[in-house]
């Protein structure tokens, strides 16, 4: 088998996975989390920049949707500081265990629940953020309505997307999905390869 045929096969598999994930979204498998930690990811994704762009600040009450193994959770918790509060929500208990193992006693509150059915009171968070997760949620409209519910008035929803994530959502499509549910587009930072879009709860 030639190098070209191998490349074409890889591209075909990747394109197939991309199509399947967009038609039938599903959560990133726990057993694939080493890919999220791969050194090559740093070539196209800067976790510290994603945390900065998301608008996290000391003392905030923040909710992270889909923390994976805690790759972004770690710098997010550090930015919130001792007076802040971070809650991580994931559909898969295995992911939350990875966050706990990674951060140990410094691990934030961990909640196993769906990203479109949040078990929190209304208006309890200053910020809801997610990184490379939005495309995995089957009921996106229901999820955005829930984010609006748990955010205080004037609170922020921050969505970070980057390639080559198979669930990648274009910024224009993201805005069309989120804006009708009580959010005003605030700012989009980065480029089409790696961006964070912030929305303000009206």
Annotated domain spans of the chain: 26-201
Which uninterrupted H or E stretch holds 152? Answer: strand 151-162
Is the pLDDT score of 185 beyond 80?
yes
- Alpha-carbon separation of residue 76 from 56, 64, 136 (angstroms): 7, 9, 21
What pLDDT digit, counting tens, does each position of 92-112 carry? 999 999 999 999 999 999 999
pLDDT of residue 25: 53
What's the whole-number mean pLDDT along residues 24-44? 65
pLDDT of residue 45: 81
Is the pLDDT score of 157 beyond 50?
yes
For domain 26-201, the question of CATH label 3.40.50.150 is answered with yes
Give the tokens for residue 184.
């005003």
pLDDT-derived band at 34 (thresholds 50, 70, 90) equals low
pLDDT of residue 182: 95
pLDDT-derived band at 32 (thresholds 50, 70, 90) equals low
**Rounded Cα gap, residues 17 and 113, in angstroms:** 25
Give the tokens for residue 67.
């923390």
What is the residue whose two structure tokens read 């949040």? 118
- The answer to whether the beta carbons of residues 168 and 28 sit under 8 Å apart is no
Q: How do strand 61-65 and strand 85-90 relate by DSSP bridges? A: parallel
What's the whole-number mean pLDDT along residues 50-78? 96
């Amino acid at each position: 088998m030639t190098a070209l045929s191998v490349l074409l096969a890889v591209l075909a598999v990747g394109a197939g996975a991309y199509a399947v994930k967009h038609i039938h979204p599903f959560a990133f498998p726990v057993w694939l989390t080493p890919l999220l930690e791969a050194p090559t990811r740093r070539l196209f994704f800067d976790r510290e920049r994603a945390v900065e762009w998301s608008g996290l600040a000391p003392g905030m009450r923040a909710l992270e949707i889909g923390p994976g193994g805690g790759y972004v959770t770690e710098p997010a918790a550090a930015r919130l500081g001792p007076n802040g509060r971070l809650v991580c929500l994931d559909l898969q208990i295995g992911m939350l265990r990875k966050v706990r193992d990674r951060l140990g006693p410094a691990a934030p509150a961990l909640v196993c629940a769906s990203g479109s059915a949040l078990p929190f009171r209304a208006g309890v968070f200053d910020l809801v953020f997610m990184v490379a997760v939005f495309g995995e949620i089957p009921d996106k409209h229901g999820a955005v309505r829930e984010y609006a519910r748990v955010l205080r008035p004037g609170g922020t929803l921050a969505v970070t997307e980057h390639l080559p994530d198979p669930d990648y959502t274009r910024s224009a499509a993201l805005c069309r999905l989120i804006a009708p549910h009580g959010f005003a587009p605030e700012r989009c930072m980065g480029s089409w390869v790696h961006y964070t879009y912030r929305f303000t709860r009206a």
